[in-house]
Amino acid sequence: MAATAAASAAASLACRHDGHHSIFPSFSVHPPEPSRLFLSKALPKPYPFLCDNYPIAASSHRCMLPLTPHAALVDPSHAFLSADEDKPRDECGVVGIIGDPDAAQLCSLALHALQHRGQEGAGIVSSDGSSLHSATGLGLVSEVFSDPGTLAPLVGEASIGHVRYSTAGAASSLANVQPFVAGYRFGKLAVAHNGNLVNYRNLRSALESKGSIFNSSSDTEVILHLIATSSSRPLLARIVEACEALEGAYSLVFLTANKLFAVRDPHGFRPLVMGRRRPTGAIVFASETCALDLINAAFVREVNPGEVVVVDSRDMSITSLCLMPSKSRKACVFEHVYFALPNSVVFGHPVHSSRYSFGAALARESPAPSADIVIPVPDSGFFAALGFAEASGLPFRQGLIRSHYVGRTFIEPDKEGRNLAVKLKLAPVRGILEGKSVVVVDDSIVRGTTSSKIVQLIKTAGGAREVHMRIASPPIVGSCYYGVDTPSSEELISNRMDVEGVRQEIGCESLAFLSLESLRGVFADEAHMFCDACFTRDYPVPPRNQEIEQLVEV
């Protein structure tokens, strides 16, 4: 009866990819009632879903996916020592691979490609078809898995992996390093999470009042408890029920003995893509397409907001379902401003192209007619500076050289040490800068501390006559609660000062930010599908007051 009722509610719910670049069709799922995907304790079999435009194998009710190719341990007390101190930190990258005998090895390579998304810890969990095997550690991927013997026990043709950066709490605690593995009455389950739950405190409190015991300070553990305490069957129904309780951002990969699940929140805040590896046909999920490229996997599509994709290792069948009624997509625009690698395609747009367009728009809005050259703050300002230079007709020069071999923990936390940190990380090329009026293009300003040091460095060590700062994003005035480590609003310099105040604080001759209108203009008709709350304080999912006061890490 439940199966009949579910199947009869045709066209009542659609889970669709909102971007114009998707090569995969939309899916429709028909719940017994609009507010829930499953009311019954057991999912109807076969699981109800429709796949527009692509055939469904009648015997298995599973969708046949077409393939298309796409165009050092951080001490939290010394976090300010990096030349990137004035940047928000993305909170993690996830990888999932199923159907390849070298799954764990490939997972470690994919995590290398995502290292920019988290440097505090890394981990991999593999499945051999009957058991899960786990290896986690603090530090970079190359440190955690430097010994070949670390990967040796991770046998099997399926694995998930995680690189971690935390927002608060025990940043260097091994207990918080993912993937997490938990046992419940039907077996073991591993999970890796990119995002942040704004109702974590409320959920944890409710679970603890019912007897749940937590082993970490990570909001991801709440998801495992919700699944374990659910009375629904099978596991897919438990995952759906758990996600219905979550508020905020989550891109998740789950691994059991024989299945891999990929899940994205209904707003699609954080990226998650799907690919297929040549020649094995293994299915791969990752936070960015750069991870697919490294392991020779062809991009298939994004995991749609509000979707769960299930891959069964026993026959490599793929099932797609909607978690819940779709909401307006609100992809994080800061992925294009700073977080993602420029060789990635994120939310259907090449990142390098977006950054180039930001810089070109900035040149048209806020030219520097007296300037002689344009230089980027490496590395994230490179493409924006290139766009600014070409749009303004000024020469593009590499006036700052970045060292990629500077550690973070050996400099004393005083003023002299902080200044030395920037000098060690960024070296001016005096032969390019001396006597010049220089446009310096950076992607963003958060606290303003590093920007002031860069201006001083270019003038004193580089010998520049003038420094005109151009920022390829609007002023950051609001903290992020969807999986990004940003300071409190009081620490955000643009929340405390107007543009002229910021200019005086960092000591440059002129300062301009990209306007919000121009930023949105780069994405044209898709602009409303991006979350830009850090620039507007317009939060798609309002943060809870108690969560604002004490966010915890993923």
Percent of the chain with pLDDT over 90: 63
Same domain assignment for residues 370 and 426: yes
Same domain assignment for residues 174 and 288: yes
Query: Is 26 flagged in the annotation as binding?
Result: no
Q: Give me the pLDDT at residue 315, please.
A: 95
Same domain assignment for residues 231 and 350: no
Residue given tokens 């793929």 in the structure block? 318
Same domain assignment for residues 274 and 300: yes
| pLDDT category of residue 56 using cuts at 50, 70 and 90 | very low
At 106, which CATH number? 3.60.20.10
Same domain assignment for residues 271 and 136: yes
- Residue 363, in any domain of the structure: yes
Instruction: Please compute the mean of the pLDDT values over residues 204-214 and round it to a whole number.
Output: 89
- pLDDT digit string (tens) for 384-409? 999 999 999 999 999 999 987 765 43
- pLDDT digit string (tens) for 13-23? 335 433 333 32
- Residue 216, in any domain of the structure: yes
Q: Which long-range contacts (CB under 8 A, 24 or more apart) does 141-146 make?
A: 141/108, 141/111, 141/112, 141/115, 142/112, 143/72, 143/73, 145/108
Same domain assignment for residues 279 and 356: no
Query: Is 102 flagged in the annotation as binding?
Result: no
- pLDDT digit string (tens) for 267-281? 999 999 999 998 899
Same domain assignment for residues 266 and 318: yes
- Residue 552, in any domain of the structure: no
Same domain assignment for residues 112 and 160: yes
Query: Is 443 flagged in the annotation as binding?
Result: yes
- Residue 36, in any domain of the structure: no
- Residue 163, in any domain of the structure: yes
Residue 456 carries which side chain, given as an amino acid letter?
Q
- Residue 13, in any domain of the structure: no
Q: Give me the pLDDT at residue 491, please.
A: 86
237's enclosing H/E stretch is: helix 235-245
Same domain assignment for residues 239 and 124: yes
Quote the number of domains for the chain: 2
Query: Is 380 flagged in the annotation as binding?
Result: yes
- Listed ranges 161-175, 193-207, 340-354; the one with the highest mean pLDDT: 340-354
Among 292, 327, 362, residue at a domain's last position? 327
- Listed ranges 84-88, 157-161, 170-174; the one with the highest mean pLDDT: 157-161
In terms of pLDDT, which residue wins out, 33 or 515? 515
Query: Does the pLDDT at position 74 exceed 90?
Result: no
- Residue 139, in any domain of the structure: yes
In sign, the C-alpha dihedral spanning 207, 236, 303, 344 is positive
Among 279, 299, 327, residue at a domain's last position? 327
Same domain assignment for residues 274 and 367: no
Q: How far apart are CA 206 and CA 112, in angstroms?
A: 37
Q: For the whole model, what pTM was predicted?
A: 0.82
Question: Following CA atoms 35, 39, 43, 46 in sequence, which dihedral angle do they give, to the nearest 10 degrees?
Answer: -60
- Residue 276, in any domain of the structure: yes
Query: Is 15 flagged in the annotation as binding?
Result: no
Same domain assignment for residues 201 and 285: yes
At 460, which CATH number? 3.40.50.2020
| pLDDT category of residue 231 using cuts at 50, 70 and 90 | confident
Instruction: Please compute the mean of the pLDDT values over residues 509-531 and round it to a whole number.
Output: 97
Query: Does the pLDDT at position 480 exceed 50?
Result: yes
Positions annotated as catalytic residues are: 92
User: What Cα–Cα distance (Å) separates residue 49 from each residue in 30, 52, 63?
Assistant: 7, 10, 9
Same domain assignment for residues 309 and 384: no
Which residue range is the domain that position 238 belongs to? 89-327
